[in-house]
Each structure stands twice: as C-alpha cells, then as structure tokens.
Chains A and B, each alone.
Chain A
Amino acid sequence: MLTRSTALAACLLAASPAFAGKIFVSNEKGNDITVLDGTSFEVIATFPGGQRPRGITASPDGKRLYVCASDDNLVRVFDTDSYQELPSLPSGPDPELFVLHPSGNPLYIANEDDNIVTVVDVETRTVLAEVPVGVEPEGMGVSPDGGIVVNTSETTNMAHFIDTTSFEIVQNVLVDQRPRFAQFTADGKSLLVSSEIGGTVSVIDPATGEIRTKISFAVPGVLPEALQPVGVRVTRDGSKAYVALGPANRVAVIDGTTWEVTDYLLVGQRVWQLAFSPDEKYLFTTNGNSNDISIIDVASDEVIRSVQVGEQPWGVVAVQ
C-alpha cells in the first residue's frame, strides 16, 4: 500500500474512488503512454503521447504529466487523472530529457540538436532562457534547493552547472564518454553522473566540481562494453543508489556511503531509466528491448515482477 499525503488523497479520492497511485511509462516507438495502477501494477490505460515520447516527469502535486515528444519538438502535458491533453509547452528542437524545479516551475529541457538548455515557464508556457552548453545535451539534474541545474553533454563529455537565477554556466566538470544522466543526492552534497560509453558513474562534489570517486561495474559473463550506465536514482536517505546498465540488462545497487557496488539485479533487456514509487518502496525500470518494466522491491533489492507495457519503453514516473 502506498502512503500519500492525506489532503491530496482526500482530494483525489473524491474525484476517483479507486485511485491508488499511478505509474506512467513513455513508449518511444509506440508513441504512447502506458498507465499502471500503483498498487496492483496492472495496466489500466494507454493513451497517445505524441511522436517519440521519451523524457517523462510529473508536477510535484502529481496532477500534471510532462512528456518530451521528441519528434514533435514540444513538451506535451496531460492530466494524470483523466489523461486529457492540456496545452503543450514550447521546448526547443528535439527535447529528450528535462527536469522540473523542485517548486514545480520552471522546466529545464535538454535540446539534443541545438546544444542548448531551454528554460520554460510551465504556467505562462513561455521560454525564459536558452543556455548554450556542450554538444548533445541530455542528462538534467537539479539541486534540492533549486539553485543549480546540471546538464550533461554527450559528445562534449561534461557536466555543466547552470545557475538557475542568472542562467549562466558557473562550472564545468569533465567526465567519461557520453554522459547520459545527472542525479543529485537529497542532501545536495553529491552529484552522480553516468557515462554510458565510458562505463562509469562519477560522484562529484557539487561545491568544488571535484570528482570524488568513479564507480565502475563488472558482471561475470557480461562483456565490459555492454555495461553501459544510464539512469540513476538515489534513495532520499542517501543509503542506496541504483544505476541502470543498459544492454547488460541489470540494475546495479550501490552503497551510498562507500559508493561500492553491492549487487546486480537482473531486469529486462536494455534497461535505461528508473523511477521510485513516491513512498520509495519500489523502483521501476524501463526495459526498451523487451517492452516491459521491472519492479524492484527496494527493501529487499529483489525484482518482484515484470509487466508488459508498450513498444520500446523509455522513461517512467510514478505519482501518488
């Protein structure tokens, strides 16, 4: 059973008595969004997500769903209750991944084709700024206090630290080949950047830009070049980090203190993105080549289920 804020639950229950949290999965090839019930993990709906839906996130109140419709060159917005489409947001060309400010506004979008990060006000639906970054911006992370947004550029191989007030780059950190994802720890004291081709996750001190350690991976019987870290999530208490290893079909479990890998969990094929349930009891993984998501029990680090979704699932978000 998922825990949720009482006030919000009351409000949502009034609208829809059966509501018990939902999981939204963007299907890159299927051009749709699969919705799963947050308790039973059954597929309860599928709706069109625009052309090539990839990055997916939800507003802090869980009411609005944002989807990077990469081939439509915009961010599509949906009501998480009715699945009705709301007015789209401008995104700049080829949006792939984005991150919401902790307050829910603005949205910071990586534009792969134009070497820029676009900052969009989700209320007025206007572009606030365009920040030039490295070649092929992709990963987007935001510090817990909302002061810094980090973008990773896949061909430049840097993490760019952008001041969210001035929209200026204040720091660049060189990491290994093809950085895909940036994730701050909840205390803001570490930034994890995954390098898909380099095969490492850099743990960066955001204050100094220093790389404290690099996590690398090894699985017996799996070719080293198949160990390609992409999605990264860290538990709120900072005790554990999870890293999706792409074509290695595994999620690595990492000790949040020592940064040592403690386990590898076998999931579906080509695992890319990860999301926790709001209560952090479960971790969901998108497995692009087996068209399913795996559900990991966070307490025991066991894969408890896999559920078929649409064609080539890319991103996932769970709302309360």
Chain B
Amino acid sequence: MRHLKAAVLAALVWPATVAAQTEIRAAVLRVDVQGRPPVSRLDLPPDDLGLAGARLGTADNATTGRFMGQTFITEEVTATPETAVQAIEALVARGTRMVVTLADEATTLALADAAGEGVLLFNARARGDELRNDQCRANLLHVAPSRAMVADGLAQFLMWKRWDEWFLISGSHPADRALADALRRAATKFGARIVEERTFEDTGGARATDSGLVQIQAQIPAFTQRAADHDVVVAADETGLFAAYLPFHTWEPRPVAGSAGLRPVTWHPAMEMWGGTQFQTRFEKQSARPAREEDYQVWLALRAIGEAATRTGSGDMAVLRDYMLGDQFQLGAFKGQALTFRDWDGQLRQPILLGSGPIVASVSPQSEYLHQVSQLDTLGTDRPESGCRIDRKE
C-alpha cells in the first residue's frame, strides 16, 4: 500500500508522464575470455564480476523507482566471444533495448553492429581509443574510460610531480602496445619525455611457480639496467603479466606507475571521498567483496539509465538516450562532480583515480589543467581532435 501511495504522491509533484507503473528493462552481457590467470591471486576475477555492480545499480534505481512508479529489471547474461552475438540477438528478441556490455574491443563492435539502431549499448569494459574515434558507433556509449583518458590522468599527476622523464616498458600483446601508444600520446600532450623504451616479451609460462621469486629478483634488475636517466618507470601491461614485478626490482631506485605502482583506475576499494564510502559499504554488504572497476562501470551504466528514467518519467530507449546525451543530464557517482556524456563520441566524462596500493593517492584531472568547456575534457580525446564522425542530431 505504501508503494502505491508513494507513487500517487510522486505523481502529484511530478505530473509529467508518470501515472501507471513504468517498466525499464535492461541487460548486462558479460563476455568471458579464457586467458592465463593474473600474476597475483588477489586479482583473480570473482564469479559475479560486473554482475554485482549491475545488481547494486538496479537496487539503487529500484529505491528511487518506488517513489516514481517505475520498476527496473536487469537481465544478466554471460557468453563467450563465440556465443556473444547470439546472446545479444536473443536479448533483443525478448524486447531488451538497453544492454551493458563487458567485452573486449572486437566483440564490443560486433555486438553493436549485431544489435542495430534500435538498441543502445553501454560499453563497460573495452578501453580501445579506436572505439571512440574511427570505429565509433551511434548506438554505443562508453562508461569505461578510454586508454587515452587513463594515460592522461596519470600523465597530469606525473607532470605535477615534475617527473617528466619516463622509462616506458610495454608488454608485447596488442592491448599492451595500445596502452603504450596512449602513454606516448599523453607524454606529448603534457610535455613529458620518454627517454628510454623497452618491450617485455611474453615468452609464455605459468604465472607463478614455487620459489619463482628467485628468478624474478634476478630478471627484472637485469632487464632494467643501463637505461637513460629517468624520473619514473611507466609500465604498459594491460595483459597483466609483468608490471606487478617492477616495483623494488628496477635497477635504478625509481617509482613505478601505470600498470603497477601508481595505477590510474575508475574505482578503488579504498575510495572514501565524495560519499564513496557509502557506495563501498552498500556494495560490500550486497556482494561480500570489494567493488572492482567493472562493477563500478556497470553500476554507472545502470545509474545513467535510472537517472534518465527518473528525470524523463520514461522507459523508452530513444527518450532516455536523447536525455543522456543532452545538456540536462548529470550523474552523481562519488567523483566530486557531475558525470556527463560527450556528445561527439558517446564517452562518459569522469575523473580518474590514482591508486597506490591500499590507498587513493590522487585524483585527476589535476586542478592546474584547465579547459574552456570542462576540466574533464583534459582527459582523453577532446572534440576538436575526435575521429568520430557521427551526426547524432538527426
């Protein structure tokens, strides 16, 4: 009865379109790739990775929905790269028009193309800059940051520290090389110099062996010796095979940043600023583990949908999409300022946290980097340099 009463009263002060219950349907599609386990067992993926973020986002939306006469339903689907397209087609056939995807770059594109114009996708994992530029899609928004955004966030802090001579070490996989490209671009953009560059070849093998430390302790110093004078070692190891071994093993005593040491992330389990504690405790109570970046990113996507639904009173994808991309949309997400979508490439603007072990050491953009539109546009590809050519105003 109370729900009904709340709905009626909400209608009184929000007479726009909410009268009966509106149902807002979405889905989260996670595409799992079998790979080698991470270097540290602390980083093993939990079974509910990302899905837990969906559950919290849906619960948060439902609490608000109770007052607005809106119900939120989020379907959870997992697939492999081979079955992903089939999975999204089945979702669309069941009437779902908004899908949050956790997939690599190639699969994300395949999903966007298979889903078609009538479906809106929220990319919550793939960081490829090409997805925001030449390969952008009108039906694809990005809640995950691009590599350019995380690289710029890190570069701003290193420049603030006056650490402008970098020793860049990258892995040999395509994702590592793409991250290294983003770091090179960031160095140029903010005035750092890459004084030495090396590639750490992946020669295969198990992530850990009994007494494996003995070899690491000898290998890494040898690998990093005789480098040109540098302030900081910057690691591009998105695959996660070697960067964790760098701190304390480098030949010269230098700090490590990038894929180890000081890491640019969208979320960190120690984040307590701007009400972040409340997200952490809510999440941990629900899922009995700390939230990861994927969880936060999926939560962002569902909250964006929820926020648009609250403000428009609608459950219609086109109405929600137009609102999200419009200038009224603002999302509060424990980052100290409103998050909004870039209308030129569908990227969600967001501050980047710099995690250092168990704490958040800093948050970028650094206050010294100003911008004529939004300070958040100092991170990633800005409008004038965007390679995305979609006219969203049809």
- Determine if B189 is an interface residue (Cβ-Cβ < 8 Å): no
Chain A: minimal CB distance from B330 (Å): 5
Taking CB atoms, residues of chain B closer than 8 Å to A228 are 336
Cα distance, A196 to B60, chains bound together (Å): 19
Cα distance, A196 to B48, chains bound together (Å): 33
Number of contacting residues on B, CB 8 A? 30
Taking CB atoms, residues of chain A closer than 8 Å to B67 are 134, 156, 158, 160, 169, 172
On whether the beta carbons of B332 and A178 are closer than 8 Å, the reply is: yes
- Determine if B110 is an interface residue (Cβ-Cβ < 8 Å): no
Question: Given A169-B6, A171-B9, A197-B332 in contact, is the A225-B338 Cβ separation under 8 Å?
Answer: yes
Taking CB atoms, residues of chain A closer than 8 Å to B206 are none
Taking CB atoms, residues of chain A closer than 8 Å to B13 are 171-174, 208-210
Chain A: minimal CB distance from B9 (Å): 5
On whether the beta carbons of A115 and B63 are closer than 8 Å, the reply is: yes
Taking CB atoms, residues of chain A closer than 8 Å to B285 are 113
Residue in A112, A169, A170, A174 whose beta carbon sits within 8 Å of that of B310 in the complex: A174
On whether the beta carbons of B375 and A223 are closer than 8 Å, the reply is: yes
Cα distance, A262 to B267, chains bound together (Å): 39
On whether the beta carbons of A177 and B63 are closer than 8 Å, the reply is: no
Residue in B5, B275, B310 whose beta carbon sits within 8 Å of that of A157 in the complex: B310
A contact face: mostly helix, strand, loop, or mixed = loop
On whether the beta carbons of B63 and A134 are closer than 8 Å, the reply is: yes
- Determine if B14 is an interface residue (Cβ-Cβ < 8 Å): yes
Taking CB atoms, residues of chain A closer than 8 Å to B9 are 169-172
Chain B: minimal CB distance from A28 (Å): 11
Taking CB atoms, residues of chain A closer than 8 Å to B2 are 168-169
On whether the beta carbons of A113 and B337 are closer than 8 Å, the reply is: no
Chain B: minimal CB distance from A274 (Å): 20
On whether the beta carbons of A155 and B60 are closer than 8 Å, the reply is: yes
Cα distance, A198 to B337, chains bound together (Å): 8
The 0/1 profile, CB within 8 Å of A marked 1, for residues 60-92 of chain B is 100110010000000000000000000000000
> What residue in chain B is nearest A113 (Cβ atoms)?
B281
On whether the beta carbons of B281 and A94 are closer than 8 Å, the reply is: yes
On whether the beta carbons of B64 and A134 are closer than 8 Å, the reply is: yes
> What residue in chain A is nearest B303 (Cβ atoms)?
A155
On whether the beta carbons of B64 and A135 are closer than 8 Å, the reply is: yes
On whether the beta carbons of B338 and A197 are closer than 8 Å, the reply is: yes
Cα distance, A139 to B303, chains bound together (Å): 21
On whether the beta carbons of A155 and B332 are closer than 8 Å, the reply is: yes
On whether the beta carbons of B337 and A197 are closer than 8 Å, the reply is: yes
> What residue in chain B is nearest A225 (Cβ atoms)?
B337
The 0/1 profile, CB within 8 Å of B marked 1, for residues 164-208 of chain A is 000011111110111000000000000000000110000000001
On whether the beta carbons of B375 and A225 are closer than 8 Å, the reply is: yes
On whether the beta carbons of B330 and A158 are closer than 8 Å, the reply is: no
- Determine if A32 is an interface residue (Cβ-Cβ < 8 Å): no
Cα distance, A112 to B280, chains bound together (Å): 12
Cα distance, A174 to B330, chains bound together (Å): 13
- Determine if B12 is an interface residue (Cβ-Cβ < 8 Å): yes
Taking CB atoms, residues of chain B closer than 8 Å to A170 are 9
Cα distance, A228 to B336, chains bound together (Å): 9
Number of contacting residues on A, CB 8 A? 33
The 0/1 profile, CB within 8 Å of B marked 1, for residues 61-96 of chain A is 000000000000000000000000000000000100
- Determine if A136 is an interface residue (Cβ-Cβ < 8 Å): yes
> What residue in chain A is nearest B62 (Cβ atoms)?
A135
- Determine if B10 is an interface residue (Cβ-Cβ < 8 Å): yes
The 0/1 profile, CB within 8 Å of A marked 1, for residues 1-35 of chain B is 01001100110111000000000000000000000
On whether the beta carbons of B331 and A177 are closer than 8 Å, the reply is: yes
Taking CB atoms, residues of chain A closer than 8 Å to B14 are 172, 174
Cα distance, A113 to B330, chains bound together (Å): 23
On whether the beta carbons of A113 and B332 are closer than 8 Å, the reply is: no
Chain B: minimal CB distance from A112 (Å): 5
- Determine if B282 is an interface residue (Cβ-Cβ < 8 Å): yes
Cα distance, A156 to B336, chains bound together (Å): 16
- Determine if A154 is an interface residue (Cβ-Cβ < 8 Å): yes
Question: Given A113-B278, A113-B281, A176-B330 in contact, is the A198-B338 Cβ separation under 8 Å?
Answer: yes
> What residue in chain B is nearest A199 (Cβ atoms)?
B338
On whether the beta carbons of A157 and B12 are closer than 8 Å, the reply is: no
Cα distance, A176 to B63, chains bound together (Å): 17
The 0/1 profile, CB within 8 Å of A marked 1, for residues 251-295 of chain B is 000000000000000000000000100100110010000000000
> What residue in chain B is nearest A180 (Cβ atoms)?
B275
Residue in B278, B330, B370 whose beta carbon sits within 8 Å of that of A136 in the complex: B278
Taking CB atoms, residues of chain A closer than 8 Å to B303 are 155
Chain A: minimal CB distance from B153 (Å): 16
Residues 296-346 of B at the A interface (beta carbon under 8 Å): 303, 307, 310-311, 330-332, 336-338
Taking CB atoms, residues of chain A closer than 8 Å to B338 are 177, 197-198, 225
On whether the beta carbons of A154 and B275 are closer than 8 Å, the reply is: yes
> What residue in chain A is nearest B64 (Cβ atoms)?
A156
> What residue in chain B is nearest A246 (Cβ atoms)?
B336
Chain B: minimal CB distance from A131 (Å): 10
Taking CB atoms, residues of chain B closer than 8 Å to A168 are 2, 5
Taking CB atoms, residues of chain A closer than 8 Å to B63 are 115, 134-135, 153, 156
Taking CB atoms, residues of chain A closer than 8 Å to B60 are 135, 155-156
The 0/1 profile, CB within 8 Å of A marked 1, for residues 361-394 of chain B is 0000000001000110000000000000000000
Chain B: minimal CB distance from A149 (Å): 16
Chain A: minimal CB distance from B381 (Å): 20
Question: Given A115-B63, A210-B13 in contact, is the A172-B6 Cβ separation under 8 Å?
Answer: yes
Residue from B307, B332, B336 whose CB has the most chain A CB atoms within 10 Å: B332
On whether the beta carbons of A171 and B310 are closer than 8 Å, the reply is: no
Chain B: minimal CB distance from A154 (Å): 6
> What residue in chain A is nearest B2 (Cβ atoms)?
A168
Cα distance, A155 to B335, chains bound together (Å): 13
Chain B: minimal CB distance from A227 (Å): 10
Chosen A-B contacts, 30 in total, with CB atoms closer than 8 Å, are A94-B278, A94-B281, A112-B275, A113-B281, A113-B285, A134-B67, A136-B278, A153-B63, A154-B278, A154-B332, A155-B64, A156-B67, A156-B310, A157-B64, A157-B307, A157-B332, A158-B64, A160-B67, A168-B5, A169-B2, A169-B5, A169-B67, A172-B9, A174-B14, A178-B275, A178-B332, A197-B332, A197-B338, A198-B330, A198-B338
Which 9 pairs, one residue from A and one from B, show the smallest C-beta to C-beta distance? Answer: A209-B13, A156-B64, A177-B332, A225-B337, A178-B332, A197-B332, A172-B67, A197-B338, A177-B330
* 12 more CB-based (< 8 A) A-B contacts, given A113-B282, A174-B14: A134-B64, A153-B64, A154-B278, A155-B60, A156-B63, A169-B2, A169-B9, A172-B9, A177-B330, A177-B332, A178-B332, A197-B330
